[in-house]
Structure 1
Amino acid sequence: MASSLICSETHSRVSSVLNRDVKQYGKKYLFDRNEETCWNSDQGECQWVCLEFPQSVKVSELKVQFQGGFSAKTCRLDGCPKDGAFTEISHFYPEDNNSLQSFPIQEAPAVDKVKIMFENSADFFGRIIVYSLDVLGGKAS
């Protein structure tokens, strides 16, 4: 059964933070399981979240909760081995609402890093607001 791949040893990076205000809108709020906090990107096209896992994994599902009006319309999941280049794994298409959405990932290869690309936003200025993000799967054998 798939479980969360995000742990204390998972390194994360984001494309931007609104007004560089990491205390209020930083990447740590993607994973804190608190519905009062969020990661809020700054303006611009193609915002992203990059995760590096402590070991090779196989991703089976993504779960993401946007703020309605600030969701991505099209998303792409890329992955790569430890020293390799990112390649496309899957596309997914969230709805523009506040609900927790789940996206199964079919036949993902073993990867050490993933990059979730929010290719465009429902917001005119390109901002993305995410209340929670989880990557499910298992260790690669």
Structure 2
Amino acid sequence: MASSLICTETQSRVSSVLNRDVKQYGKKYMFDSSEETCWNSDQGECQWVSLEFPQSVKTAEIKLQFQGGFAAKTCRLEGSRMDGELKIINHFYPEDNNSTHSFPIQEALVVDKVKIIFENSTDFFGRVIVYSLDILGEKTS
């Protein structure tokens, strides 16, 4: 059964943080299970989140919760082995609301890192606000 692949050893990076205010809007808030905190990107197209796992994983599902009005319209999941080149795994299309969205990954590949690219946003300035992000799947040996 699929379980969360994000753990304390997972390294994360983001494209930007609103006004560089990481204390209030930093990437860590996507993973803290709090409904009060969020990652808030700065403006600009193609915001992204990348995750590097401590071991190889097989991804099965993405769960995302945006703030309505600041959701991505088109998303692309890319993945690769440790030193490999990122390849497109899946495209998905969230709705512009506050619900947690779940996107199954049809052809799950074994990867060491993934990048979720928010190709465009419902916000006029391209900002994206993510309250929670999780990737489900299984660890491989």
Q: Give the TM-score category using the shorter length.
A: over 0.9
Structure 2 residue 50 is the aligned partner of structure 1 residue 56:
no
SS at match of 2:109: coil
Partner Cα distance (1:58, 1:76) in 2? 17
SS at match of 1:88: strand
Structure 1 residue aligned with 2:26: 26
TM-score where L is the length of structure 1? 0.99
SS at match of 1:24: helix
Structure 1 residue aligned with 2:41: 41
Deviation at 1:51, TM superposition (A): 0.1
Partner Cα distance (1:97, 1:139) in 2? 31
Partner Cα distance (1:140, 1:45) in 2? 34
Question: For this pair of structures, how many residues does the alignment match?
Answer: 141
Structure 1 residue aligned with 2:122: 122
Gaps of 5+ in 1: none
Deviation at 1:74, TM superposition (A): 0.2
- CA-to-aligned-CA distance 1:78-130 (integer Å, 9 cap, x gap): 00000000000000000000001100001211000000000000000000000
Structure 1 residue aligned with 2:89: 89
Partner Cα distance (2:40, 2:68) in 1? 13
Q: Percent identity?
A: 79
Runs of 4 or more above 6 Å deviation = none
Structure 2 residue 4 is the aligned partner of structure 1 residue 7:
no
- Amino acid aligned to 1:68: G
Structure 2 residue aligned with 1:106: 106
Give the RMSD, CA atoms, in angstroms: 0.6
Gaps of 5+ in 2: none
Deviation at 1:140, TM superposition (A): 2.5
Partner Cα distance (2:107, 2:28) in 1? 29
Partner Cα distance (1:53, 1:82) in 2? 9
TM-score where L is the length of structure 2? 0.99
Partner Cα distance (1:108, 1:40) in 2? 28
